[in-house]
Amino acid sequence: MVVDFQSVTLAYNGHIVLDGLSFAVESGTFLGIVGPNGVGKTTVLRLAAGLLRPTRGRVSVFGQDPASPRVRSRIGYLPQLPGTNDIFPVTVRDVVDMGLLGAAKSRPVDEVLQELDLRDIQDAPLAALSGGQRQLTFLARALARDPDLLLLDEPTTGLSPMAKEHFLARLKELLERRRMTVIAVYHDVEDMNPLTDRILRLTSRPSPRLRGVR
Amino acid sequence: MLEEMLALGFMQRALAAAALTGLLCGFVGFFVVLNHMSFLGVGLSHSAFGGLALGLVMGWPPMLTGAAFSLLSALGIGALGRDRRMGTDTAVGILFATAMALGIALTGLIRGQYVDLFSYLFGNVLTVSSSELWALIITAALVFTVLGAYFKPMLYISFDPESAEAGGLPVTSLHYLLLILVALTVIVAVKVVGVILASAFLTIPPASALQLSTRYRQVVLLSMSLALMAALGGLFISFVVDISSGAAIILLSSAIFAMAAAVRRLRPPLTAPKKLRLPS
Condensed to tens digits (0 to 9), the pLDDT of residues B89-122 reads: 898 999 889 988 998 888 877 766 666 777 888 8
Q: Do residue B162 and residue A79 have CB atoms under 8 angstroms apart?
A: yes
Domain count, chain A: 1
Domain at A133, CATH number: 3.40.50.300
CB nearest B270 (choices: A98, A125, A145): A125
Integer Cα distance of B227 and B237 in angstroms: 15
Q: How confident is the model at residue B280 (pLDDT cuts 50, 70, 90)?
A: very low
Q: Do residue A90 and residue B216 have CB atoms under 8 angstroms apart?
A: yes
Q: Cβ contacts (< 8 Å) between A174 and chain B: which residues?
A: none
Distance from CA of A77 to the nearest CA of B (A): 6
Lowest mean pLDDT among A79-88, A111-120, B60-69: A79-88
- Residue A78, pLDDT score: 94
Environment class of residue B184 by beta-carbon count within 10 Å: exposed (0-12), middle (13-18) or buried (19+)? buried
| C-alpha atoms less than 13 angstroms from C-alpha of B60 in its C-beta half-sphere | 12
Q: Do residue A101 and residue B164 have CB atoms under 8 angstroms apart?
A: yes
Q: Cβ contacts (< 8 Å) between A151 and chain B: which residues?
A: 166
Q: Which long-range contacts (CB under 8 A, 24 or more apart) does B79-87 make?
A: B82/B172
Q: How confident is the model at residue A214 (pLDDT cuts 50, 70, 90)?
A: very low
Q: Please, what are the domains in chain B? A: 2-105+114-263 (1.10.3470.10)
Mutate to test the interface with A, among B270, B276, B278, B280 (most CBs of A within 10 A): B276
Distance between first and last Cα of chain A? 18
Encode pLDDT of A124-169 as tens digits. 999 899 888 999 999 999 999 999 999 999 988 878 888 888 888 8
Give the structural domain span for A71.
3-212
Encode pLDDT of B7-49 as tens digits. 888 899 999 999 999 999 999 999 999 999 999 999 999 999 9
Q: Do residue B167 and residue A101 have CB atoms under 8 angstroms apart?
A: yes
Alpha helices in A87-199 (DSSP H): 92-98, 109-115, 131-143, 161-177
Integer Cα distance of A162 and B80 in angstroms: 45
Evaluate whether ipTM surpasses 0.85.
yes
CA B180 from centroid of its chain's CA atoms: 12
Provide the Cα torsion A153, A157, A160, A165; round to 10°.
40
Integer Cα distance of B14 and B24 in angstroms: 15
